[in-house]
Every structure is written in C-alpha cells, then in structure tokens.
Amino acid sequence: MAVQERANFGSKLGVILASAGSAVGLGNIWRFPCEVGENGGAAFILVYLICVVFLGVPVMVSEFLIGRHSRSNTATAYKILAPGTPWHFVGLMGVFSGFLILSYYIVVCGWTLEYAWTAASNGFSQVGDAMDYTAFFNNFVSNPWKPLLYLAVFMLITHYIVVRGVKEGIEKFSKVMMPMLLLIIGVLVVCSFSMPGSVKGLTFLLKPDFGKIDTGVVLSAMGQAFFSLSLGMGCLCTYASYFTKEVNLMKTAGSVVVIDTLVAVMSGFIIFPAVFSVPGLIPNAGPGLVFITLPNVFNIAFGNYPFLGYVFSVMFYVLLILSALTSTISMHEVATAYIHEKFKMTRAKGAFVVTSVCLSFGVLCSLSFGVLSDMTIAGFTLFDFFDYVSAKFLMPLGGMLISIFTGWYLDRKMVWEEITNEGRLRVPMFKFYIFLLKYVAPLAIGAIFVHELIKA
C-alpha cells in the first residue's frame, strides 16, 4: 500500500502545542481534580505521576511512531504496518472511540459555554445558596433545548477549525489557544493562593498520606493517566502522521506529558485552595465539583470583593472552554482524516459527516439528562453508557493493544529507526522503553481492564 502525501505541521512549536492540545482537555481541569478529591489528594497525584512516566510516555511514543511511519489515518496505519492481519481493527477501534467520545464530550463542552456566559453576565451572584446551585445545574442539563444549542455551537466551532486543515486550522489555532490556556492558569493559581484556605488546599495536594494508597487508587490513577493524555483513541497517532522526519518523538512526548501534567496539577492548585476557603465544603464532591461546588465557592470566597469573584469565575470557565476545544478538535480530526482518506472525500465533506453524526448522538446524550432519562442501555443512560464504554474499556484496551503491537509485533529495527530518526538521535533508554512496552504497560493496563470487567 503506497504511503500517501500528507500535510505537515509547519514548526516544532506547532507540533508540541497541537499534540499537547490534543492531550489537554476537560480530563485535566474537570476530571483530574475530581479524581484527586475522591482518592485522597497528594497520594493519588504521586501514583498518577508514576503511571504517566512509566505507562503514558511509552504508549504515547508508540502512537507517534505508528502515525509518522505510516503517514496515514489511524485505521489505515495498521494496514500499512501489518498488512493482511487483524491488527487494523486496533485502528478502527480508535476511530470508533473518537466518534463515541466526541458525541458525549460535546455535551459537557456545551455546559462550559453556558457557565461562561452565566459567569460573564454575573448570573451566579443571583443563584443563592449551595442547594440553589445544584438546582441551577439540574434545571439546565435537563432543559430540552438550551444544552442542545450550546453543544451545537461548540461543535460548529470545532468543525470550522478542522475544515481549515492542518496548518491553517489545527496548528494555527493551537498556537493561540494553548498559550492563552497556560496564561489563564497562571493567573488563576496566583489568585487561588491568595485565598484564606490556600494552605489547607496545598497541604491536601502536596502532603501525601501513603495509607490512602490501595488497589482502587492505583487503578484510578492509571485510568486517569490514559484519559488525561488521550491515549488509545487515535488522536496522537493521527497528529503524528503530520509530523516531519525531523521531529524528535521522545522529546515531543516528554514535552506533551510535562504540559499536560502541569495543566492537571495547576488545576488542582486553582480548585482546592478555593474549596478549602469555604467552611463546610469538602474536596470529594465528584463531577459536581466544577459545575456545582465552584460557582458557590467563587461567590463566598470573594464575599468582600465581589469583582474578584466575578473575574475569577469568568476566567475559570473560559479556561474550561479552551481546554475542551483543543480536545474536540483532535477527536474530530481522527474521524475526519479516516473518512477523508478511506472514502476519497474532500476534507470538508468528511468533516461534515463527522459533525452530523456526532451532533445526532450528542443530542441524544444531552436529552438523556431530561426527556430521554428513561431510555437506558444495561442500566446506563445514553450519556453514561457512552462514557463508560469509551473511558473504561475502549481506551485501556486500545492502549494495551498498541503496547503489544509496538513491543512484540513491529520490527525492532523499524522502531529504533523511528525513535532515533534513522540513527541521528541518541536514545540511551531504548531497551528500557521496549521493556516497558513488552511487559509493564500491557500488564498494568490489562489490570485496569480486568478490574473494570469485574466491577461491571
């Protein structure tokens, strides 16, 4: 099968920011603090960092080399590297995961638009006490039309960027959005450190209680590492197909992991000092932490300085929008690249198919909080089912198979040539990298998979 001519990212900075943007998302700013709060704070973060280094980096580099060597969408990549074998199903699973995750992810993305608008219009100051914030959230997500409008707007913005292409769309917007995201995080961290409860919040994040580390915490940390880095869903493989041969895959993976982890940990530095500043609030509020607890915190913690509370809340929800958008772009691109190349469509037509399908499923997922709440699959609402299947099964399974494919199936010389850029780069830890891929990563990821099967 001939290798196709493809667009390339225009600069090393574009490669890093686009790849980091693919990894950085609501998993860092929404899901990570929730997991930290529910799993004991600093102890969870320590285990998470270990998982990122010893599992996340090897699998990320594997996705990079598969994508760059094949110069193709994630489904066709495995046909090129393993012709005539069933390995191409791993690529198809990545495309399917992208469709599935994007379909319910844009529902939450729509929520960020509503909350940013409410914060900008100073609507939170009129909500009332903590119970009213819960009612505000429940009333909004169960509304039959308002969330649909927001998710459609978010999807159309994503569609517009993807249609513009690799350089003029994905890379150009990543170079704007990622610096903005990091700047907002820096400002919010400084503001959060000035709150009266910041010391308690920092202690919760930085002083580990090793007695809280158990099997559940370790498995949650591994699962979060994969979710946060967007591994096993074809995004990084697809982006890597736009890398030039000069890109240092190891350094790029390291840069992406550092940025992604920095955003996640800094999000904790923003959220937990704020939460501990309000008496009676607890850090283990789960998914409601961002959409129910924090709006209340912004009002109470800055009670004597309402303007600061206003600015803090607006900047925080703009941060959520930016992080969500960088991820929706990458998930959309996975499916768009596949349809564009597989069915010989123009990029615009391929993107239209993806947008239409994901919007249709997104509407159903959104309505599962309201008028379709009685429609269930195996006891799950449509939103929860999409989330459960993708985050708990498809992503870990994809990561495990990618590890096995690179560590056991691919020719060792080809892997070495890709990672060393045909011998021009020194990679002294190459053997250790292969060891992690062959033994550590598959067993560890398999443990997540088995654990979820047992729970199910």
| Tokens found for residue 318 | 């703009």
Q: Is the pLDDT of residue 189 over 50?
A: yes
Distance from the Cα of residue 18 to its chain's centroid:
13
From the CB of residue 429, how many other CB atoms can be counted at a distance below 10 Å? Answer: 12
- Report the percent of the chain where pLDDT is more than 70: 93
Q: Is the pLDDT of residue 4 over 60?
A: no
325/160 Cα distance (integer angstroms)? 12
- Reported as half-sphere exposure (CB side, CA atoms, 13 A), residue 445 has a value of 31
161/169 Cα distance (integer angstroms)? 5
pLDDT confidence tier of residue 304, bands split at 50, 70 and 90: low
| Tokens found for residue 177 | 């959005």
Are 447 and 399 spatial neighbours (Cβ–Cβ below 8 Å)?
A: no
Cα–Cα distances in angstroms (integers) from residue 353 to residues 120, 346, 348, in the given order: 34, 11, 9
Instruction: Tokens 């010389």: give the residue.
Output: 413
**Which residues, in sequence order, are bridge partners of residue 376?**
381
| Tokens found for residue 195 | 């709150």
**Phi and psi torsions of 61, nearest 5°:** -60, -35
The whole-number average pLDDT for the span 283-312 is: 71
pLDDT confidence tier of residue 285, bands split at 50, 70 and 90: low
**pLDDT recorded at residue 2:** 39
**pLDDT recorded at residue 140:** 94
| Tokens found for residue 131 | 């119970």
pLDDT confidence tier of residue 3, bands split at 50, 70 and 90: very low
Indicate the pTM of the whole model: 0.91
Single-letter amino acid code for the residue at 202 = L
Between residues 24 and 336, which one has the greater pLDDT? Answer: 336
DSSP string covering 67-119: HHHHTS-HHHHHHHHSTTSTTHHHHHHHHHHHHHHHHHHHHHHHHHHHHHHHH
**Is 12-455 a CATH 1.10.4160 domain?**
yes
**pLDDT recorded at residue 450:** 78
Q: Is the pLDDT of residue 248 over 80?
A: yes
Nearest to 18 by CA among 190, 337, 239: 239
Q: Is the pLDDT of residue 5 over 60?
A: no
The whole-number average pLDDT for the span 88-94 is: 92
Sign of CA dihedral 444, 286, 232, 419: negative
Distance from the Cα of residue 214 to its chain's centroid:
25
Ranges 163-172, 311-320, 352-361: which has the least confidence: 311-320
441/403 Cα distance (integer angstroms)? 7
Q: Helix, strand, or coil here: 362?
A: helix
pLDDT confidence tier of residue 166, bands split at 50, 70 and 90: very high
Nearest to 238 by CA among 64, 85, 104: 64
3-state percent helix, strand, coil for the chain, nearest multiple of 5: 75, 0, 20
Angle, CA 428 vertex, CA 426 and CA 429 arms, to 5°: 130
Ranges 34-43, 158-167, 239-248: which has the least confidence: 34-43
Angle, CA 325 vertex, CA 118 and CA 47 arms, to 5°: 100
The whole-number average pLDDT for the span 165-175 is: 93
91/76 Cα distance (integer angstroms)? 7
The whole-number average pLDDT for the span 96-103 is: 91
Q: Helix, strand, or coil here: 5?
A: coil
Instruction: Dump pLDDT digits (tens) for 270-280.
Output: 887 877 776 66
**pLDDT recorded at residue 456:** 61
Q: Which helix (H) or strand (E) holds 380?
A: strand 380-381
Instruction: Dump pLDDT digits (tens) for 389-410.
Output: 887 788 888 889 999 999 999 9
115/292 Cα distance (integer angstroms)? 10
Instruction: Dump pLDDT digits (tens) for 196-232.
Output: 777 888 888 888 878 878 877 887 888 788 878 888 8
